[in-house]
Structure 1
Amino acid sequence: MSIPAIDEAPLSGFHRKLTWACAGGPFLDGYLLSIIGVALVGMSNELQLTTGDESLIGAAALVGIFVGGLFFGAVTDKLGREAMYTVDLAVLVGGSLLSVFATETWQFVVLRFVLGMAIGADYPIATSLLAEWVPNRHRGRLLGILTLSWYVGAAAAYVVGYVMAEIGGDGTWRWMLASGAVLSAVILLLRVGTPESPLWLVNKGRTADAQKAIQRALGRTIPIDELLVASAAEQSVEKNQIRDLFEGTYLRRTLFCGLFYMCQITPMFALYTFGPAILDSFGLGEGHTSNLGSALISIVFVLGCLPALRLVDRVGRRPVITWSFALMVVPLVVLGGGSSLPIGVVIVCFCTYALLSGGPTVLEWTYPNELFPTNIRATAGGVATSISRIGAAAGTYLLPISLSRLGIGTTMLIGAGITLVGWLVSVAWAEETKGRTLAETSALPGRSRQGSEADAPQAKFARPTP
């Protein structure tokens, strides 16, 4: 059941503030995962880290995201979005501060794992909260902004790392890690006072609280009878359990969301964590200039997201994701030529890949929030995130090994193969959800959330050819 007062509301200052507050989590994710790639240069020299140590430190956060998404998504569906919304940011502040004082490899691995858990928790918390508050016609774009903020955070990390390294040398790596605590504290303050999702409250039968939340956020008094109808509809729907994500149509949707997400970020996370090392393999590693090169690529990723933000709500989700994946394969295949390629070709290929990746990027959190009902929405988002991080963690761990044993060309071709799998998954399973309410998009084919025969056609998804 949807709430018309939310689905049809005009975009307001509350929606914009909520979007930026929710985007703070992905921003910190991009920042924290990228700043470690810059800091590793100084860390390795001072702490005499081995290649294996670097791989463990680089992959620990991704393993933490897997655990955090898998566990805290379900907790968010049970306890509420608001209850978890600020706790995870507090963990980011504490974990970043403690990283400044770490001296052993195992300490960094543990702290990066904890930071990853907090980030993994934030994905289903923030995205489900935003999805349940924003109007239908703006949902794809606003959820896409959350993903875009990841790249902004990554670019900021490389710029900050470059400036610190140029001013104070590689020995400033501890200050680089400390900068994450400052940013986390700022975003934590921005989130204080955010109201609970009315859709979650209605799902739990708390109609009076939902009425107060809507009044507080949108300045509109919704008749309690309208919310009682919505609550009755939610209560009449069979309550899904976590196991339902792995059965029937929900299994297909779970696999789709997790696999396309994984194929999108496996090459990307490896690129960001070890961006300077990759650019150095192509001959772009003089001094600290590789950090600026990584920042440039991050900015291009942001630019690639901008047209995709408009297209997902105008053209539709399915054509955007299928065409983007298909075209993303091309520059990675060209990069398979290895270190013999002209520098100009390398930069053009990386920038082309970054521009084209905007499609699947802005849909990473849109699809999981649209394809599953309220009582398992955050759980599904967490599971999708966890599936994606299996590949991301493996790719991040194996990338330095692949660079040293297989070479840069073969490594890029492996990335092209992973991207091709993302295209195949999208062609087979991507559904069209543009312009529909969450009640309609999350309904199983042939059955509406209200369960009436008259509404059944609305629950079916169109699947236009790309």
Structure 2
Amino acid sequence: MTTNKNDEAAAEPKLETCNVEEIPAADGLAPGMRPDEGAVNLMLVLSCLAFGASSFLFGYDDRVISPVAATPAFVRLLQGYAGPSNENLSLTARNQDLVFSVPLVGSVIGGLATTLLTNRFGRKWTLIGSYVFSLLGAFLQVFAPNLTAFVIGRFCSAFVIGIAHTIAPLYLCEVVPASMRGRSVQIYNILNIFSGVIATIVSNATHAIDGPKAYQIPLSIEAGLPALLFVLTLGIPESPQWLVSKGRMGEAKKNLRRLRGFSDFQLEDEFRVIVLCEENERELTSNVHFWDLFNRENFKRTITAGSFYSLNQVSGVILSTTYTTVFLSQLGVGNAFVLTIIASLCNLAGAVVAPMVLDLYGRRPTALWG
């Protein structure tokens, strides 16, 4: 008996990707009723705020370091005068590299470690553990006896920031209904930039103090953030989607119930979609490896998706954000600390306007014009 090759190809199962929105809802919804209608409850709001507030770590640290590095007391106590004349009270180029660049390495390592940690411990407990570890970096920065100890503290804090900056958007996308995912991630970005505004205001208020408190006060606030976030995150449920991926169905459904305010029927329908998506993803990724991202079929998408952050940094934007206060102080242009606040407010205004622009013009035109 002979078999046609076309028949064999047709008989093989063909895997196709699908989005949550493409999976049909179960019958039984009232006419005109959306599957996620009435989904929001207090626990969902608290969960989004707790994980979204983790962006305070990144935003505050990113904006506080430039004013701190430009604070006279900081330079005098941790480095000293740059020249023999005792007039040039600013960080040398080498020390600026240490203070600003070494933490970026910590963030990269933290981001790379996140996948391994979350696969083993989940979204919630990985984030809580990172908050505990961050206390070491915060202590070293506030009470650093020299610049080396300060840079080590910055590295430890940046490692935690790399973890939080990776986990938080992932958790937000997993716990909110599909129709709210874009807005939840936008809230994360707004909170991130808002914390930077706070950092610049605090630094402006303390930089003229004669003594270590000029920089210890802003850094102490950064040290207190993980402790506050630790308490806020303790009562938040683990991601149901992660629990489903680990086969813990009963716990996943229980957590989904805590995160939803709608009927049991809608809950069962959403849980069915989560399970289907997880099964579909497992089938699609069963024989997929990391380096497949750079295959001919995927290379263009990989470069496009990764270009937004990477090209943003290559453009030199870090010179007008992270180094702002240091550069303006050395140039003697106005009040460097006040101008840094203004720059942060402009950044915040852009983040607030962004959701409206995205809804009006779409993601691609906004990205291209930006």
TM-score band w.r.t. shorter chain: 0.7 to 0.9
Q: Quote the residue 1:260 is aligned against.
A: 308
Q: Quote the residue 1:329 is aligned against.
A: none
Is 1:236 the equivalent of 2:236?
A: no
Q: Partners in 2 of 1:57 and 1:76 — Cα distance?
A: 29
Q: CA deviation at 1:125?
A: 1.0
Q: Partners in 1 of 2:121 and 2:313 — Cα distance?
A: 29
Aligned residues: 321
Alignment partner of 1:273: what SS? coil
Q: CA deviation at 1:171?
A: 5.3
Q: What does the per-residue CA deviation read over 1:378-422, in whole Å, with 9 as the maximum and x for residues that have no partner?
A: xxxxxxxxxxxxxxxxxxxxxxxxxxxxxxxxxxxxxxxxxxxxx
Residue pair 2:124, 2:233 contacting (<8 A) in 1 also: no
Q: CA deviation at 1:141?
A: 2.1
Is 1:320 the equivalent of 2:351?
A: no
Q: Partners in 1 of 2:125 and 2:213 — Cα distance?
A: 39
Q: CA deviation at 1:92?
A: 2.4
Aligned pair partner of 1:124 in 166, 169, 172: 166
Q: What does the per-residue CA deviation read over 1:111-158, in whole Å, with 9 as the maximum and x for residues that have no partner?
A: 211111111111221111101112233222220221222221211111
Alignment partner of 1:103: what SS? coil
Aligned pair partner of 1:45 in 70, 76, 88: 76
Q: Which amino acid aligns with 1:276?
A: T
Is 1:223 the equivalent of 2:268?
A: yes
Alignment partner of 2:235: what SS? coil
Residue pair 1:37, 1:276 contacting (<8 A) in 2 also: yes
Q: Partners in 2 of 1:7 and 1:250 — Cα distance?
A: 33
Q: Which amino acid aligns with 1:43?
A: F
Q: Quote the residue 1:175 is aligned against.
A: 217
- Could you say if the C-alpha distance between residues 126 and 248 of structure 1 is closer, same or farther in structure 2, counting changes exceeding 3 Å? farther
Q: Partners in 2 of 1:171 and 1:196 — Cα distance?
A: 39
Q: CA deviation at 1:270?
A: 2.9
Q: CA deviation at 1:84?
A: 0.9
Greater helix share, 1 or 2? 1
Spell out the pairing of 1:277-296 with structure 2 (5 A cutoff): 277-280=326-329, 283-285=332-334, 289-296=335-342
Is 1:136 the equivalent of 2:178?
A: yes
Q: Quote the residue 1:310 is aligned against.
A: 356
Alignment partner of 1:194: what SS? coil
Residue pair 2:193, 2:351 contacting (<8 A) in 1 also: no
Residue pair 1:76, 1:84 contacting (<8 A) in 2 also: yes
- Could you say if the C-alpha distance between residues 281 and 105 of structure 1 is closer, same or farther in structure 2, counting changes exceeding 3 Å? closer
Q: Quote the residue 1:427 is aligned against.
A: none
Q: What does the per-residue CA deviation read over 1:243-266, in whole Å, with 9 as the maximum and x for residues that have no partner?
A: 333334544333223321123245
Aligned pair partner of 1:206 in 224, 238, 248: 248
Q: Quote the residue 1:333 is aligned against.
A: none
Q: What does the per-residue CA deviation read over 1:17-72, in whole Å, with 9 as the maximum and x for residues that have no partner?
A: 22322222222112112222122233222222532112211112211111111222
Q: Partners in 1 of 2:120 and 2:365 — Cα distance?
A: 34
Q: Partners in 2 of 1:183 and 1:83 — Cα distance?
A: 17
Counting aligned pairs with the same residue, the percent is: 27
Q: Which amino acid aligns with 1:278?
A: F
Q: Which runs of 5+ in 2 are unaligned?
A: 1-17, 27-33, 81-90
Q: What does the per-residue CA deviation read over 1:206-231, in whole Å, with 9 as the maximum and x for residues that have no partner?
A: 32222111112214543398365455
Alignment partner of 2:175: what SS? coil
Q: Partners in 2 of 1:22 and 1:269 — Cα distance?
A: 25
Q: Partners in 2 of 1:250 and 1:168 — Cα distance?
A: 56
Residue pair 2:137, 2:152 contacting (<8 A) in 1 also: no
Q: Partners in 2 of 1:125 and 1:312 — Cα distance?
A: 24
- Could you say if the C-alpha distance between residues 270 and 148 of structure 1 is closer, same or farther in structure 2, counting changes exceeding 3 Å? farther
Q: Quote the residue 1:8 is aligned against.
A: 36
Residue pair 1:28, 1:183 contacting (<8 A) in 2 also: yes
- Could you say if the C-alpha distance between residues 315 and 12 of structure 1 is closer, same or farther in structure 2, counting changes exceeding 3 Å? farther
Residue pair 1:205, 1:235 contacting (<8 A) in 2 also: no
Aligned pair partner of 2:320 in 271, 277, 280: 271
Is 1:30 the equivalent of 2:59?
A: yes
Q: What does the per-residue CA deviation read over 1:186-238, in whole Å, with 9 as the maximum and x for residues that have no partner?
A: 12221122212222222333322221111122145433983654554344333
Q: Which amino acid aligns with 2:77?
A: E
Q: Which amino acid aligns with 1:13?
A: L
Q: Quote the residue 1:113 is aligned against.
A: 155
Residue pair 1:36, 1:273 contacting (<8 A) in 2 also: yes
Q: TM-score, normalised by structure 2?
A: 0.77
Q: Partners in 2 of 1:87 and 1:7 — Cα distance?
A: 35
Q: Partners in 1 of 2:363 and 2:116 — Cα distance?
A: 26
Across the aligned residues of Structure 1 and Structure 2, the Cα RMSD in angstroms comes to 2.8
Is 1:148 the equivalent of 2:184?
A: no
Residue pair 1:137, 1:313 contacting (<8 A) in 2 also: no
Q: Quote the residue 1:90 is aligned against.
A: 132
Residue pair 1:154, 1:272 contacting (<8 A) in 2 also: no
Q: CA deviation at 1:78?
A: 4.7
Q: Partners in 2 of 1:100 and 1:283 — Cα distance?
A: 27
Q: Partners in 2 of 1:21 and 1:242 — Cα distance?
A: 31
Q: TM-score, normalised by structure 1?
A: 0.62
- Could you say if the C-alpha distance between residues 78 and 311 of structure 1 is closer, same or farther in structure 2, counting changes exceeding 3 Å? farther
Q: Quote the residue 2:14 is aligned against.
A: none
Q: Partners in 1 of 2:212 and 2:325 — Cα distance?
A: 14
Q: What does the per-residue CA deviation read over 1:60-115, in whole Å, with 9 as the maximum and x for residues that have no partner?
A: 22111111112223432454212312111222233112212212222222221111
Residue pair 2:58, 2:165 contacting (<8 A) in 1 also: no
